[in-house]
Amino acid sequence: MNLLTVDMLTISGTDGRALVSELSFALSPGERLGLIGESGSGKSLTALAVLGLLPAGLRASGSIRLQPAGGEPTEVVGAADRTLRRLRGRVATVVFQEPLTALDPLMRIGNQVGWAIRRTRGLRGSALRDAVLSALAEVGLDDRIARAYPHEVSGGQRQRAAIAAAVACRPALLIADEPTTALDVTVQADVLALLDRLVADRGMALLFISHDLAVVARVAERVLVLAQGVAVESGTVTEVVTAPDHPVTRALLSSARQLDAALDGRQP
């Protein structure tokens, strides 16, 4: 049984132009798929469509079905807001590139994590307070961070807090849209390792979006390459890295290698 089934998904702009075209892929519970492509290839729109969060004016057609273990399948394309609210957080959730956009600047971090847990798990009072502190502890944040506002902590801590809020809802599917791109290089590896551990511990499925094949290779088992809204290649990470088929995949691989070489101080 698939947790997520995307079937012939097309996303059109206001002018009718297809921004994503006839995209199909599936994810079973606990599976990790990397969605990779150059800037503007349609990765973020695909992620938003899965949660029914496409920007106004954009239209999805085709089918996106979410089915948690033991639950009924729900069609996301064309679903009413009430239906989507039941899925968001509980069945699938998202961590964005820039945690400042995900976190409310006027609310203490602990309250934001608490709000997410209360909404999805219905906890109150001391049970809620304990759940918040344990969710934060799980991502390496203490109660001092719970009392802080987002602007009072570092970018890495903000992203950890956003991850804590997402994971504390115990979703079956975590979508991570370039979750480490906005962070300092030194913090990136820590946050990636954290995500990797949480997803494994909870048995969550992961849809990991990135333009960086090297990053995707560290957390995903399979890769789907998008170019101008079209899936051009897919396979296991090993298959795609050792025998890239499409020119876009080869370009992504070569830039990952160049970056690796630059970090090691050698010629690519």
Binding residues vs ligand ATP (CB under 6 A): 13, 19, 37, 39-45, 55, 57-58, 211
C-beta of residue 208 within 8 angstroms of C-beta of residue 191: no
User: Least distance to ligand ATP from the beta carbon of 228, Å?
Assistant: 8
Residue whose structure tokens are 């992504």: 252
Please identify, using beta-carbon distances, which residue of 41 and 157 lies nearer to ligand ATP: 41
- Reference 90, options 122, 136, 137; nearest CA is 122
Pairing of the two strands 32-37 and 59-66: unpaired
Rg (CA), the chain: 19
User: Least distance to ligand ATP from the beta carbon of 23, Å?
Assistant: 11
Please identify, using beta-carbon distances, which residue of 5 and 41 lies nearer to ligand ATP: 41
User: Least distance to ligand ATP from the beta carbon of 75, Å?
Assistant: 21
Please identify, using beta-carbon distances, which residue of 138 and 178 lies nearer to ligand ATP: 178
User: Least distance to ligand ATP from the beta carbon of 204, Å?
Assistant: 22
CA distances from 11 to 21, 52, 175, 211, 217 (A): 7, 12, 18, 20, 27
CA dihedral 82, 195, 226, 76 (to 10 degrees): -10
Give 239's contacts (C-beta < 8 A, 6+ positions apart). none
In sequence order, the β-bridge partners of residue 93 are: 174
Please identify, using beta-carbon distances, which residue of 153 and 225 lies nearer to ligand ATP: 225
Pairing of the two strands 4-12 and 18-27: antiparallel
Q: Closest CB to ligand ATP belongs to which residue?
A: 44
Please identify, using beta-carbon distances, which residue of 132 and 182 lies nearer to ligand ATP: 182
User: Least distance to ligand ATP from the beta carbon of 97, Å?
Assistant: 8
User: Least distance to ligand ATP from the beta carbon of 25, Å?
Assistant: 15
C-beta of residue 207 within 8 angstroms of C-beta of residue 239: no
Please identify, using beta-carbon distances, which residue of 164 and 248 lies nearer to ligand ATP: 248
